[in-house]
Amino acid sequence: MIKLYGYWRSSASYRVRIALELMGVDYDYVSVNLRTAEHRSGDYLAKNPQGLVPMLEFSDGTQLTQSLAILDYMDSEFEGPKLLPRDPIARAQIIAAASIVACDTAPIQNLRVLKYIRAEHDQDDAGVKAWAAHWIADGLSKLEKTLALDSYAFVGSQDPGYLECVLIPQIYNAERWGVDMSRFPILSGINSHCLALEAIQRALPENQPDAG
Amino acid sequence: MIKLYGYWRSSASYRVRIALELMGVDYDYVSVNLRTAEHRSGDYLAKNPQGLVPMLEFSDGTQLTQSLAILDYMDSEFEGPKLLPRDPIARAQIIAAASIVACDTAPIQNLRVLKYIRAEHDQDDAGVKAWAAHWIADGLSKLEKTLALDSYAFVGSQDPGYLECVLIPQIYNAERWGVDMSRFPILSGINSHCLALEAIQRALPENQPDAG
């Protein structure tokens, strides 16, 4: 059985959970508690010296890290519905749209960055919230405008996949940090559609065994 | 002829220049001056509402954005040496290693983030430098440890590709911000090897028409 090392509130773990559920893959969930720094413990670092989740582990011991690499691998190697379009231009457009979130947004409002600005830049709760909300709104605004292009019209008519794996966790964070999602009607529409699906409900942070 | 919209000092533009040169693709270079905010001008935003470089434009008008999406497209669709390994596990490992840079490092020390901490967190030159150096060293340290794993031994024996497209620009930034690269012997070795190649020399920031 495949093992997913993750944490309920990690966005990158949530991406991979959505992908596993959309593709109908059975897996064991291994919680790595980021709050108690299990990801920086010797046991976990020996497996993954990046000290990050998620990590996917196959029964032969092969380990894959980094959510985008895992999604790419799953799309090409796993049975089940595909995560990426077969058309090369549409594929590139989806990867580009997901990169607006995965490269230009999520990393800047990551927990370790928030901890740093609190400690090193003397930011209080309001300052931390302002930082997270600023970068999330900036990224989602770029994505909303991109998905509004004619060349992205196909996104609305296809089943959730790679883009949604990355987007749904980002919107979860947006709501957590008080970003006004009504500014982003295309993204909000995708989110509502996805959250109504049983597969994505199984992947929700609050439905994980380590939630709390 | 393919057009690359880029800026000499943009890391993400530099990634795509390296890929084009490694694959032997002829292209026209269109400078988008980030310093004078050409990327936020109406003309450029009409093409790319993200307001970011790089963008690749084909002669039929099709436009691809986001460096990782462009590299993925080039690898699967362009003639010439491939950027990614054909073996699925090796491919996933390379994408994961590149993600340590492209997702976990580069975005946090991006120019717009540095501008924000200067303006909103009252950081002076020393504070900005400390921020950039901290996150670059953190990311490169994770990458160095990852490439030291037995499962990554193959990296040293293959031609430069996807990983090097992302790594060489990050090391350029590391040196610019005073990160001590002697801490990272594996990465330094890859960098020295790559910088000796004519293809990569053509892609260097200082060898672009808009450098200065």
**Phi-psi group of A161: left, alpha or beta (phi > 0 → left; psi -120 to 50 → alpha; rest → beta):** beta
CA–CA gap between residue A6 and residue A118 (Å, rounded): 25
Within-domain flag for B211: no
Asked whether the predicted pLDDT for residue A40 surpasses 90, the reply is no
A91–B99 CB contact, under 8 Å: no
pLDDT recorded at residue A136: 98
Determine contact: B148 vs chain A, CB below 8 A.
Answer: yes
Closest CA to B103 of A149, A180, A69, A176: A69
pLDDT recorded at residue A203: 98
Which chain B residues are Cβ-neighbours of A104 within 8 angstroms? 50, 52, 107
Same domain? B92 vs B180: yes
pLDDT recorded at residue A36: 85
Asked whether the predicted pLDDT for residue B201 surpasses 90, the reply is yes
Give the residue-averaged pLDDT of B99-106. 97
Which of A63, A82, A101 terminates a domain? The answer is A82
If contacts are CB pairs under 8 Å, which of residues 106-145 in chain A contact chain B? 106-108, 113, 116-117, 120-121, 123, 127, 130-131, 134, 142, 145
Asked whether the predicted pLDDT for residue A50 surpasses 90, the reply is no
Closest CA to A166 of A110, A100, A211, A115: A100
- Least CA distance to B94: which residue of chain A? A69
Same domain? A24 vs A108: no
Chain segment B36-66, per-residue pLDDT in tens: 888 888 888 988 888 889 999 999 999 999 9
Within-domain flag for A43: yes
As a residue count, chain B comes to: 212
Within-domain flag for A134: yes
Range of the domain at A22: 2-82
The CATH number of the domain holding residue B163 is 1.20.1050.10
Give the residue-averaged pLDDT of A117-131. 97
Same domain? A76 vs A156: no
- Least CA distance to B50: which residue of chain A? A142
Give the residue-averaged pLDDT of B111-133. 96
Within-domain flag for A206: no
Asked whether the predicted pLDDT for residue B121 surpasses 90, the reply is yes
Same domain? A92 vs A78: no
Asked whether the predicted pLDDT for residue A212 surpasses 90, the reply is no
Which of B67, B82, B97 terminates a domain? The answer is B82
Asked whether the predicted pLDDT for residue A35 surpasses 90, the reply is no
Same domain? B100 vs B188: yes
Within-domain flag for A17: yes
Within-domain flag for A204: no
pLDDT band (50, 70, 90) for residue B92: very high
pLDDT recorded at residue B156: 81
pLDDT recorded at residue A166: 98
Which residue among B89, B99, B107 places its CB closest to the CB of A108?
Answer: B107
- Cβ–Cβ < 8 Å for A64, A12: no
Within-domain flag for B205: no
Determine contact: A51 vs chain B, CB below 8 A.
Answer: yes
Same domain? B192 vs B128: yes
pLDDT recorded at residue A129: 98
CA–CA gap between residue A77 and residue B166 (Å, rounded): 24
Same domain? A47 vs A100: no
pLDDT band (50, 70, 90) for residue B89: very high
pLDDT band (50, 70, 90) for residue B157: confident
Same domain? B187 vs B99: yes
Whether the complex's predicted ipTM surpasses the cut of 0.90: yes
Domain count, chain B: 2
Within-domain flag for B145: yes
Asked whether the predicted pLDDT for residue B212 surpasses 90, the reply is no
| Predicted structure pTM score | 0.97
Same domain? B73 vs B98: no
Q: Structure tokens of A11? A: 């966005």
Chain segment A64-109, per-residue pLDDT in tens: 999 999 999 999 999 999 999 999 999 999 999 999 999 999 999 9
pLDDT band (50, 70, 90) for residue A41: confident
Asked whether the predicted pLDDT for residue B68 surpasses 90, the reply is yes
pLDDT recorded at residue A195: 97
pLDDT band (50, 70, 90) for residue B143: very high
Same domain? B120 vs B195: yes
Q: How many CA atoms lie within 13 A of A169 on its CB side?
A: 28
Chain segment A21-32, per-residue pLDDT in tens: 999 999 999 999
The CATH number of the domain holding residue A15 is 3.40.30.10
The H-assigned helical ranges of A121-204 are: 125-147, 162-176, 185-195, 198-203
Is the CA virtual torsion A170, A175, A180, A186 positive or negative?
A: positive
Strand A27-31 vs strand A2-6: parallel, antiparallel, or unpaired? parallel
Mean of the per-residue pLDDT values of chain A: 95
Same domain? B75 vs B121: no
Which of B62, B82, B102 terminates a domain? The answer is B82
Asked whether the predicted pLDDT for residue B8 surpasses 90, the reply is yes
Give the residue-averaged pLDDT of A57-69. 96
Same domain? B105 vs B129: yes
Cα torsion through A162, A165, A167, A172, rounded to 10: 180
Chain A: closest CA distance from residue B30 (Å): 20
